[in-house]
């Protein structure tokens, strides 16, 4: 565990750099969180996403295969259960891969024997998170080195350039553990509100980024509406509900990422939504959409 998912992502990149003897040239999707394009990933190649918000294979295949060394694949909103197509592509072409699974707490793909290194966020904006924290999942052969890198490089040699102080604090550990110990209390409520919000949004003409299975539990439901929704309009509303709008494209000139961002509305689906009636939720959404 690291003090943030961003730190965990950087450590995953450092492990690949140490294994190859040099920093890698990473490819990332332009539709994702800031973490994939700062720090050691600041010089990564930013490609457009596809219609579902995942790194575009079309854009990836347009690159010369020797123009990059590895990819960071963001599991957008934790909606996808199988990203093996990216893993297969990297294995065939001898490329490194890291899964940014910040919102993918229950990702089934990690059970595969060849599952890539992976990062999960435990920030309190996540249903399972509290305070701040990040989990790095690596192969057992990388475990000792990963632990060393987040602890000043102690007990490893020639890693100073990658070493950091990124240990999870005892306080945040306690907060996260307490949250997880009570998962049976809050998870069913999140699952119930996820399905409820999804149904209300679809009745208002919204389209889900991808279908959300009945067993999914989300902190917010990403919905695409026919007309663009400005972030400014969301901010101006005196809302019963605090809506979000994710994610601002990481670079200019990305038409698909820009289109998703323009039309998306992220509607909260936490347990507190149970306090609102269907009509209150509907009216709040309509207020943002400016529908009559």
Do 62 and 36 lie in one domain? The reply is yes
Do 212 and 150 lie in one domain? The reply is no
Q: Which domain holds residue 162?
A: 5-179
Do 241 and 268 lie in one domain? The reply is yes
Do 139 and 188 lie in one domain? The reply is no
Number of domains into which the chain is organized = 2
Among 179, 198, 232, where does a domain finish?
A: 179
Sheet holding 220-224, edge to edge: 207-208, 220-224, 264-268
User: Which tens digit of pLDDT belongs to each residue from 49-60?
Assistant: 999 999 999 999
Do 55 and 160 lie in one domain? The reply is yes
CATH of residue 117's domain is 3.40.640.10
Angle between helical axes of 183-203 and 170-181 (0-180°, round to 10):
70
Do 106 and 242 lie in one domain? The reply is no
CATH of residue 190's domain is 3.90.1150.10
Report whether pLDDT(194) > 70: yes
- Which DSSP helix (H) or strand (E) runs through 18? helix 5-20
Among 179, 202, 226, where does a domain finish?
A: 179
pLDDT confidence of residue 291: 52
Q: Is the pTM of this model over 0.75?
A: yes
Write the DSSP string, 95-136: -EEEEE-TT-TT-GGGGSTTPPEEEEE--TTSTT--SS-EEE
pLDDT confidence of residue 292: 37
User: Which tens digit of pLDDT belongs to each residue from 233-289?
Assistant: 888 776 789 999 999 999 999 999 999 999 999 999 999 999 999 999 999 999 898
User: Which tens digit of pLDDT belongs to each residue from 104-137?
Assistant: 999 988 988 789 999 999 999 999 999 999 999 9
Instruction: Give phi and psi for 289, each to the nearest 5.
Output: -75, -20
User: Which tens digit of pLDDT belongs to each residue from 30-45?
Assistant: 999 999 999 999 999 9
Nearest to 225 by CA among 213, 243, 242, 240: 243
Do 253 and 121 lie in one domain? The reply is no
């Amino acid at each position: 565990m690291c003090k943030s998912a961003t730190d965990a992502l950087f450590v995953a990149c450092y492990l690949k750099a140490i294994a190859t003897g040099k920093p890698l040239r990473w490819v990332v999707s332009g539709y994702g969180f800031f973490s994939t394009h700062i720090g050691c990933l600041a010089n990564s190649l930013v490609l457009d996403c596809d219609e579902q918000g995942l790194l575009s294979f079309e854009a990836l295949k347009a690159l010369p295969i020797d123009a990059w060394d590895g990819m960071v694949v963001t599991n957008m909103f934790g909606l996808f259960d199988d990203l093996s197509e990216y893993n297969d592509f990297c294995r065939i072409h001898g490329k490194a891969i890291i899964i940014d699974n910040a919102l993918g707490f229950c990702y089934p793909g990690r059970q595969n024997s060849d599952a890539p290194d992976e990062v999960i966020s435990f920030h309190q904006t996540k249903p399972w998170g509290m305070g701040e924290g990040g989990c790095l999942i690596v192969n057992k052969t990388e475990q000792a080195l990963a632990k060393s890198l987040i602890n000043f490089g102690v007990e490893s040699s020639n890693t100073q350039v990658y070493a950091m102080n990124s240990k999870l604090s005892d306080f945040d550990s306690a907060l996260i553990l307490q949250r997880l110990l009570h998962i049976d209390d809050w998870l069913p409520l999140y699952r119930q509100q996820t399905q409820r919000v999804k149904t209300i949004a679809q009745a208002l003409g919204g389209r889900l980024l991808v279908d959300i299975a009945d067993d999914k539990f989300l902190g917010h439901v990403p919905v695409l509406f026919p007309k663009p929704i400005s972030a400014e309009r969301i901010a101006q509303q005196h809302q019963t509900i605090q809506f979000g709008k994710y994610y601002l494209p990481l670079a200019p000139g990305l038409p698909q990422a820009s289109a998703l961002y323009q039309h998306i509305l992220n509607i909260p689906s936490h347990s507190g939504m149970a306090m609102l009636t269907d009509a209150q939720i509907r009216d709040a959404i309509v207020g943002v959409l400016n529908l009559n």
